[in-house]
Amino acid sequence: METYESLLAAVTAADGGRPVSDPATGEVLGRAPERGTGDLEQAVAAARTAQPDWESLGHEERSRLLNTAADAVDRSAEALAHLISREQGKPLNGPGSRFEAGGVSAWLRATAATPLEPERVLDDESGQATLGYRAAGLVGAIGPWNWPALIATWQFAPALRMGNTVVMKPSEHTPLSVLALAAIVNRVLPEGVLTVLPGGGDLGAAMVAHPAFDKLMFTGSTRTGRAITAASAANLPRLTLELGGNDPGIVLPDADPAAIAEDLFWGAFINTGQTCAALKRLYVHESLHDEVAEALAGVAARMPMGPGTDEASMLGPLTTAGQFRIVDDLVAQAAAAGGRLITGGGPDREAPGNFFPATLVTGPPADAPLVVEEQFGPALPIIAYSDLDEVITHANALDVGLGASVWSGDVERAKQVASRIEAGTIWINKHGTVHPMVPFGGVKGSGYGLEFGAEGLKSVAVPQVIAT
Ligand code: NAD
């Protein structure tokens, strides 16, 4: 049986490479090979060579191979989950690394099963036209560190299903999880179809500048997304950009604080807040503000924080020391501006590991950086409102629009409010849940393009009209 140790040994650099440290202890757990532009040329050539045969296998055979890859992931799921917990920090339990490893195989299977039929778009006396989708060719994928294996799967699974070959660069903070996943999946796939090149932002930039890519999928910060958009102009690859967010949640006066507290908590604190579509600012009607804040503090108090590999942990460390500093600064600024820390704050800065306690800040000013910037960590600002139009204006005021949520006892009322919010997904009485058949993507500075479902398959293909 595959173990954490055997999986890690299979992907660790023999010598040299980039040290990868455990965010719970600071200890180096392995070294990732560091690839450069010469490796990029080789990977691109191999992927180009493999692409026509891969495409000619057809949907049925490619889907069969994706299902077989999902079986292989299931067999190694426990080892993969341990590696994710060691490298990225999320706990094994709750919505953590076992959930992530399970999501990888679920997404592989769902992507294999998603139907995509050509569409008859014209059929009358003037003629007939059909819209279908072909492989784009070579897909380049660049990923972040928060859900390394799952987001890699969101990128490569649809691309492979559509007949593309893929070269991907994981985040320099979590290369081992993605290398391990690819090592498992590549037991099933033909050579050259999926290549992972670990390296830093410079390697990502080299990919973006390379003329061989027909399509680039990027998941990461808005800042890097803008740089990629500018740099890709010379070659015009198609782009999917899944960027940062600052999702608002709006609690209407008819919500039940006790009933929604746990879902609100996980909407904000999943993966210790390091999730693109997490709830990042909570607006609560003034009549419920104190009750909701107390109920959330109660949930926070019963969620143990500790190393990801500890079975008891429900919250883990931040993945990087840099992210710890960002959260620490945002909380300090919010407190200095009059925000009240009703729970959390006060991290032990001398202790090993990047542990920042789950923090709730009530009453920060509307323009506090904790409210208007993406914290990407376990600190939630809670803001009372009295007027619905005003709170919707606040929700829409930022230059990002990934997700949002409305919480109410009246679902129809909540849907009306949802329709006025500028975001790619608005959840009702939940936040951040994604499903492989439901398209997901942002608006404004959160990027463009859709992932998941048939729309996700179209995003990694090129449309083709046949007209008679
Ligand atoms: P990041 O932008 O710093 O890095 C992402 C990737 O881009 C890394 O692999 C990095 O090496 C690479 N990169 C850096 N500079 C590059 C360049 N010039 N050209 C090409 N590649 C380059 O983001 P991060 O810190 O890893 O991730 C956190 C951010 O990602 C947050 O803002 C979060 O909201 C966002 N995110 C979005 C989604 C989504 O689906 N919308 C999902 C997860 C994370």
242 flagged as catalytic:
yes
Marked catalytic residue, from 87, 100, 172, 242? 242
What percent of the chain shows pLDDT beyond 90? 99
Q: Of 34, 32, 146, nearest to 88 (Cα)?
A: 146
Looking at residues 176-191, what average pLDDT do you find?
Answer: 98
* Cα 433 to ligand 1 centre (Å): 20
Check pLDDT > 90 for residue 422.
yes
pTM above 0.85, yes or no: yes
What percent of the chain shows pLDDT beyond 70? 100
Per DSSP, what are the bridge partners of residue 248? 281
Q: What is the mean pLDDT of the chain?
A: 97
Q: Which residue has the tokens 């390379």?
A: 210
**Cα 29 to chain center, whole Å?**
23
Check pLDDT > 90 for residue 15.
no
Residue-level pLDDT at 328:
98
Q: Which residue has the tokens 């048939």?
A: 454
Which residue owns the Cα nearest ligand 1 atom 11?
201
Which residue owns the Cα nearest ligand 1 atom 3?
221
Rounded-to-integer distance, Cα 354 and Cα 316, Å: 9
Number of other residues whose CB lies within 10 A of the CB of residue 79? 21
Q: Of 206, 188, 187, nearest to 197 (Cα)?
A: 206
Q: Which of 20, 223, 276 to mutate to test the pocket of ligand 1 (most atoms within 8 A of CB)?
A: 276
Rounded-to-integer distance, Cα 175 and Cα 155, Å: 15
Residue-level pLDDT at 174:
98
HSE of 301 in the Cβ direction (CA atoms, 13 Å)?
8
Rounded-to-integer distance, Cα 170 and Cα 181, Å: 11
Number of other residues whose CB lies within 10 A of the CB of residue 467? 10
Which residue owns the Cα nearest ligand 1 atom 42?
276
Looking at residues 307-329, what average pLDDT do you find?
Answer: 98
Check pLDDT > 90 for residue 299.
yes
Q: Which of 221, 271, 323, 354 to mutate to test the pocket of ligand 1 (most atoms within 8 A of CB)?
A: 221
Number of other residues whose CB lies within 10 A of the CB of residue 442? 27
* Cα 335 to ligand 1 centre (Å): 28
**Which ligand 1 atom lies nearest to the CA of residue 144?**
26
Radius of gyration of the chain (CA): 22
**Cα 185 to chain center, whole Å?**
20
Q: How does residue 230 score in pLDDT terms, banded at 50, 70 and 90?
A: very high
The two structure tokens encoding residue 36:
């450069």
3-state secondary structure (DSSP) of residue 375: coil
The two structure tokens encoding residue 313:
């942990």
The two structure tokens encoding residue 135:
């492989």
Looking at residues 226-234, what average pLDDT do you find?
Answer: 96
**Which ligand 1 atom lies nearest to the CA of residue 447?**
41
> Which residues, in sequence order, are CB contacts of 245 under 8 Å at separation 6+?
276, 277, 278, 280, 374, 400, 401, 402, 403, 442, 446
The CATH number fitting domain 4-243+446-467, selected from 3.30.750.24, 3.30.470.10, 3.30.70.3420, 3.40.605.10: 3.40.605.10
Torsion angles phi and psi, residue 91, rounded to 5? -65, 155
Residue-level pLDDT at 74:
98
pLDDT, tens digit, 9 for 90 and up, residues 117-157: 999 999 999 999 999 999 999 999 999 999 999 999 999 99
pLDDT, tens digit, 9 for 90 and up, residues 349-407: 999 999 999 999 999 999 999 999 999 999 999 999 999 999 999 999 999 999 999 99
CA triplet 168, 173, 177: central angle to 5 degrees?
60
Query: Could you tell me the residue ranges of all domains in the chain?
Result: 4-243+446-467, 247-428
* Cα 147 to ligand 1 centre (Å): 11
Check pLDDT > 90 for residue 1.
no
Q: Are 426 and 404 in contact (CB under 8 A)?
A: yes
CATH architecture group of domain 247-428 = 3-Layer(aba) Sandwich (3.40)
Residue-level pLDDT at 14:
82
Per DSSP, what are the bridge partners of residue 359? 379
What type of residue sits at position 237?
P
pLDDT, tens digit, 9 for 90 and up, residues 41-84: 999 999 999 999 999 999 999 999 999 999 999 999 999 999 99
Residue-level pLDDT at 110:
98
**Which ligand 1 atom lies nearest to the CA of residue 199?**
11
Residue-level pLDDT at 350:
92
Number of other residues whose CB lies within 10 A of the CB of residue 62? 21
Burial of 42 (0-12, 13-18, 19+ CB in 10 A): middle
Check pLDDT > 90 for residue 281.
yes
Rounded-to-integer distance, Cα 219 and Cα 243, Å: 6
Residue-level pLDDT at 226:
97
Pocket-forming residues, ligand 1, beta carbon under 6 Å: 142-146, 151, 169, 171-172, 200-201, 204-205, 208, 219-221, 224, 227-228, 242-245, 276, 374, 376, 402, 442
Q: How far is CA 31 from CA 17, 56, 176, 393, 463, in A?
A: 5, 37, 8, 47, 41
Q: Where are the alpha helices (DSSP H) in 193-307?
A: 201-209, 222-231, 257-269, 289-301
Rounded-to-integer distance, Cα 327 and Cα 223, Å: 18
Q: Of 334, 339, 315, 324, nearest to 377 (Cα)?
A: 324
First and final CA of the chain: distance in angstroms?
56
